[in-house]
Amino acid sequence: MLYNINGKSVNIIVKDEQVKLEESLERNVLENFEKMKESGANIWNGDLLCVSDINVGNTTVELICKKSNYAHYLYGERVGCPPGYECRNLSAGCMLETEDGYYVIGELDDTTSYPGMLQTTGGGIDKKDISDGKISVMQTIAREAKEELNIDLMNEDIIEENRLSYLFVSGENEQPGVQIFSKAIIKMTSQKLENYFQEYYNYLREEGLEREFKKLHFLKREKAILELEELQKKFRAYMKPLLLADSKEKDRGTKMSR
């Protein structure tokens, strides 16, 4: 389910509590993770946050989280956890649009845990994004965009304020489980960004650095869902609702400005 949270304050509460798995399930989770590593996936079993409760009000959004790890996330995504043991991972990303009206979608690199998957720029909450016990979602979003696309969402690379706009809650065992999205329009055309990204990708590959996306896809705002389907590739569950909601929001804003 997708919520419009534009203008709402987001409060994330992290409990000092680890998600408890049954012994047999925990063993299966770790075995699955090791098999994925052996297959060539460039992954490590870092900590992440699992959302246990969600409260969306008229002016506020409250997310209550417990602690888990990436192996748990991957097992839920690939195999599926039994009811009560799901990993609803909390992550954040940005719905990027170019100045000539194209949504920017990344295709995951062959070295990632899900090669070829289409998704927005974004990722899990990192320890770097937590200060004095508080989580900065906008810092997560900006950090991921810088790492994945070499784009600075905090200042010179955008022409429209980067703001929190959407909250997506996935179905059972779908990942990402709970994702917060901002929206930003960048100071590049689709062609300029494509060339810029290719240079950045070549640099990462030559330096042996981690690569999240292997290529970008550009979807024209007015027909984004049709063009997404025409790609005939796997895409995250949030893609269609997010594209639909944002294109409608943009259309409403255009009509009001006339």
What's 163-219 look like in SS3? EEEEEEECCCCCCCCEEEEEEEEECCCHHHHHHHHHHHHHHHHHHCCCCCEEEEEEE
Residue 172 has pLDDT above 90, yes or no: no
What angle separates helix 70-78 from helix 23-38, to the nearest 10 degrees?
A: 90
**Which residue has better confidence, 238 or 174?**
238
Residue 209 CB: number of other CB atoms within 10 A? 9
Q: How far apart are CA 153 and CA 137, in angstroms?
A: 13
The model carries a pTM of: 0.86
**Do 212 and 147 form a contact (C-beta atoms < 8 A)?**
yes
* Among the ranges given (40-44, 133-137, 248-252), the one the predictor scored with the smallest mean pLDDT: 248-252
Residue 254 has pLDDT above 60, yes or no: no
Q: Could you tell me which residues are beta bridge partners of residue 68?
A: 48
166: nearest Cα among 155, 156, 176: 176
Question: Sorting pLDDT into bands at 50, 70 and 90, what band is 93?
Answer: very high
Q: Torsion over CA of 112, 205, 123 and 47, rounded to 10 degrees?
A: 70
Token representation of residue 81: 């956890």
Question: Sorting pLDDT into bands at 50, 70 and 90, what band is 115?
Answer: very high
Residue 19 CB: number of other CB atoms within 10 A? 19
Residue 213 has pLDDT above 90, yes or no: yes
**Which residue has better confidence, 195 or 80?**
195
**Which residue has better confidence, 118 or 125?**
118
Average pLDDT over every residue of 105-109: 97
Residue 173 has pLDDT above 80, yes or no: no
Residues 6+ apart with CB under 8 A from 27: none
Domain at 40, CATH number: 3.90.79.10
What is the pLDDT, as a whole number, of residue 145? 95
* Among the ranges given (92-96, 110-114, 240-244), the one the predictor scored with the smallest mean pLDDT: 110-114
Domain total for the chain?
1
Domain that holds residue 20: 2-257
148: nearest Cα among 175, 190, 108, 88: 108
